[in-house]
Every structure is written in C-alpha cells, then in structure tokens.
Amino acid sequence: MKIDDLSITLFAWNDIPPHSYLGRGPFDPTGQPSRTGELGLVTIRTDDGIEGHSFLGMGTSLGAPALLRMLKPIVMGRDPLAREQLYQEMLERRLVVQPWVVGAVDVALWDIAGKAAGEPIHRLLGTYREKLPAYASSEQQPDVEAYVEQAQSYQAAGWQGYKIHPFRVWRDDIRICRAVREAVGNDFPLMLDSTWGYDYPQALRVGKVIEELDFEWYEDPLGDQDIYNYTKLRQQLRIPIMATEFPGAWYDSFAPWIHNRATDYLRGDVALKGGITGCLKAAHLAEGFGMNFEIHHGGNSLNNVAHLHLSAAIRNCEWFEVLLPAGAQKVGLVEDIEVDDEGYVHAPSGPGLGVEIDFDLIERNKTAEQR
C-alpha cells in the first residue's frame, strides 16, 4: 500500500458563538457577534482506495501551505503504515513546521492504519478501556453566579466533573472557586485552569485556597515556560499541578519539566504535541515517572475523536475534557461525541477514527481545495 494523493479542503465554520478563555476580567458574551472560523479536511489517499482524514485547525490557512509544501513530499509514494519512519522524517522539518501541522498528517495516517486493519485506532494502540469520565470545561462566564449555575447544571446532568476557566484576576478567581465548591458539595470533582494568568505570589495564594477546597488539579497558573517558578510553587503545594499544555512543542519538550520536578501531570493534545504519535510518546514518558498525561481538548471534532482513542489506550489519563460552549468546539461530524447519562464518553468501535464525517456540510461551506 502506498500513498498516492494528499489534499486539503478548506471550509468555513459558521456561527461560532462568542466565547473566551483568556480575556482578563469578566467576559460578557452578551451582544458579541458570532464569528466564522475555518477548518481544513485533510485527506490522505492510498493506491488501494483507503482514505485517512483529519481536521487541520489553529490557523488553517497558514497551516495548509506548510503541510502541502513541507510534509506532502515526505509522505507521497510511501507506505502509510510506516508511521514512525514518516514521523521522524516530518520531525526533521520541525524548524519550519508546527506540531499541529504534523499532527494533522499523523492523525490521518492512524485513520488509514485502522481502516486497513478493520479496527478502531484504540485497538491498534492497545486498548486499556473503552470509556472514561468527562468533565465540563467552562468558557469564561460574566460573573460568579454564572459559574455556579453552569457547574450545577452539568452536575445535575450527570457529568463527572467541572473545570473553571476563571477571570484570571486572582482575588475574584478565589471567589469563583469558593462559590462553586459551596454549590456542588464536597464530592463533586472540580479543577481550576488559570490559563497562565498569575505571577508567583498570586499563584501561591490561589493554589492554597483550592488545595483546601480539594480541587482535583491546578492547571497552568504561571507562564507556560516558567519552569523556575513552577518548581518553587510545586514545593509549596500539595494539590497536583498541571503545566505543559502550551507551548505547541514536541515530546522531548517535557524533559526539563520532569527533570526539574516542575509539574505533577503532563498535558498535551494531538494538535499542540504533534499527533497521536507525539502524544503517545509523551504519555508513556509520563507513565515511566508515575505521572498522569491528561489529554487536552483538541479544538475541533475530529481531534477530539482522536483523543478518545488515545485516552482509551493509556492508563495514565483520568479525564476527557469537553470544552464549552459546544458550538465553538463541534463541527463536521454527522454525530459528534456525546456524554452519556452517567458522565462517560465512549471510544468509537468503527475502523480508524470510527466516526462519520459530514462531507455534505464540508462541501456546502467549502472555500478552497488545495493539493
């Protein structure tokens, strides 16, 4: 089997509701216009008719030329099942190609492998489980009460946890965390993702509070490269700290975090850490040090499906992140991932990624086809 074509269909992603995770201070979506984004459907075709797919997001119109110019020449005419060989060759272009671009090729190669074998990807990876608990991951809310209401609504719907993306104003963030904990009770898992919003003294103050409130983890309180202060912070707190979601990087970027004991958990996704292959390496690296590799949401529907397979195949990931609002995360599948009544998501059982792409929608919203 050889790869004989690679194309990218760019399509508009319409009516994305207003949302923010990073805006400093209360973000009020009221009156904000919805917007249009863009995704690219990557199709890698083989000479025996198998097609592998992925969605290229994160600045699609920038990534598509890099993919076609730098990575397509590597994979054309090659055996799609020689993933590690192709991955290592793609990494040789790491100075000019971002992890999310390599990730898009890698996910499509895994899709081909699963279809060729007639198995879902998680079985090729080595199935560990077929379902795992989901947590609702908030967008920024306009006020404390809105966080409380949102947390209670997901708790009532049977979800297993709730993560706060707060205002990134430390005193206010403590108010949010206290109010939500008070509302949902002591037994409902909560996480805080401060999205790189604090300096060291602020991070320590907030961390001590959510430690007392028995949060599951404390995510990205400090700058994404601030290993020095993470190391200090971790020495002061008992709550697990989770850094390394950013920057987009390769699996060897985790080494200084482990070496410096700067984080308790590692974090990644197929876009920011170079595909299923990159994440699998990182997850196994983490396992060797007794650390969790908690998988980040993927920013689009097909990346999230890839994450379902990945998290079904590793032991050291406890949660599946469902980022809100759904309208800003879900597009392009006939049936997207849904959380069941008991708060679990289930790994697909069909070959490859195992989900049906909505080709009609993509065709209707197509803006360009590139080869």
Which residue ranges make up the site for Mg ion (CB under 5 A)?
A: 193, 245
- In the block, residue with structure tokens 């939500």: 180
Closer residue to Mg ion, CB minimum distance, 106 or 193? 193
Closer residue to Mg ion, CB minimum distance, 197 or 351? 197
Closer residue to Mg ion, CB minimum distance, 251 or 319? 319
* Residues 45, 251: Cα–Cα separation, whole Å: 27
* Residues 145, 241: Cα–Cα separation, whole Å: 26
Q: How far is the CB of 302 from Mg ion (least distance, A)?
A: 20
Q: How far is the CB of 101 from Mg ion (least distance, A)?
A: 21
The pair of structure tokens assigned to 170 is 């430390």
Closer residue to Mg ion, CB minimum distance, 245 or 358? 245
Closer residue to Mg ion, CB minimum distance, 111 or 245? 245
Angle at 8 between CA 6 and CA 9, to 5 degrees: 140
**Closest of 240, 294, 241, 291 to residue 272, by C-alpha:** 294
Q: How far is the CB of 254 from Mg ion (least distance, A)?
A: 16
The upper half-sphere exposure of residue 182, i.e. CA atoms within 13 Å in the direction of its Cβ, equals 10
Closer residue to Mg ion, CB minimum distance, 193 or 226? 193
Q: How far is the CB of 89 from Mg ion (least distance, A)?
A: 31
Q: How far is the CB of 190 from Mg ion (least distance, A)?
A: 14
* Residues 116, 139: Cα–Cα separation, whole Å: 39
Report yes or no: 116 and 50 within 8 Å, Cβ to Cβ. yes
Q: How far is the CB of 323 from Mg ion (least distance, A)?
A: 9
* Residues 22, 197: Cα–Cα separation, whole Å: 8
Closer residue to Mg ion, CB minimum distance, 67 or 295? 295
Q: How far is the CB of 307 from Mg ion (least distance, A)?
A: 14
Rg (CA), the chain: 20
Q: Determine the residue with CB nearest Mg ion.
A: 193
- The full DSSP string for 86-135 is HHHHHHTTTTTS-HHHHHHHHHHHHHHHHHHHTSBHHHHH--S-SEEEEE
* Residues 232, 226: Cα–Cα separation, whole Å: 10
Q: Give the CA-trace dihedral at 62, 68, 74, 77, to 10 degrees.
A: 160
Q: How far is the CB of 223 from Mg ion (least distance, A)?
A: 13
Contacts of 41 (CB under 8 A, 6+ apart): 8, 9, 11, 53, 54, 55, 56, 332, 357, 362
Closer residue to Mg ion, CB minimum distance, 55 or 265? 265
Closer residue to Mg ion, CB minimum distance, 11 or 265? 265
Q: How far is the CB of 160 from Mg ion (least distance, A)?
A: 18
Task: Give the CA distances from residue 48 to residues 6, 64, 116, in Å, rounded to whole numbers and listed in that order.
Answer: 14, 25, 10
